[in-house]
Structure 1
Amino acid sequence: MEPYVSRLESEELDDVFAAILSLNDVSECYRFFEDMCTINELQAMAQRWQVARQLDAGVTYQEISHLYNASTATISRVNRCLEYGAGGYRLVLDRMKKPE
Structure 2
Amino acid sequence: MNWTSTENDRLIQAIFAIKTPDEARRFLRDLMTEKEITEFANRLQTAELLSENVSYSAIGLKTGLSSTTVARVSKWLNGKAGGYRTIIDRLHHHNPIQIRRGLS
Normalising by structure 2, we get a TM-score of: 0.82
Q: CA RMSD in A?
A: 1.8
CA distance in 1 between counterparts of 2:11 and 2:53 reads 33
Q: Give the match for residue 92 of structure 2.
A: 97
Q: Give the match for residue 21 of structure 2.
A: 26
Q: For 1:19-76, what per-residue CA distance to the aligned partner results, in whole angstroms no more than 9, with x for missing partners?
A: 1111111111111111111112111101100100000011111111111111101100
Counterparts of residues 50-69 of structure 1 (less than 5 Å): 50-69=45-64
- Structure 1 unaligned runs (5+)? 1-5
Q: Give the match for residue 82 of structure 1.
A: 77
- The percentage of counterpart residues that share the same residue type is 33
* 1:36 lines up with 2:24 in the alignment: no
Matched pairs, number: 95
Q: Give the match for residue 72 of structure 1.
A: 67
Whichever residue aligns with residue 29 of structure 1, its letter is: A
Answer 1 or 2: higher relative contact order, Cα 8 Å, separation at least 6.
2
Of residues 61-70 and 72-81 in structure 1, the stretch that sits farther from structure 2 once superposed is: 61-70
| Residue 97 (structure 1) shift | 2.2
Query: Cα distance 1:45–1:24, how it changes in 2: closer, same or farther (>3 A)?
Result: same
Normalising by structure 1, we get a TM-score of: 0.85
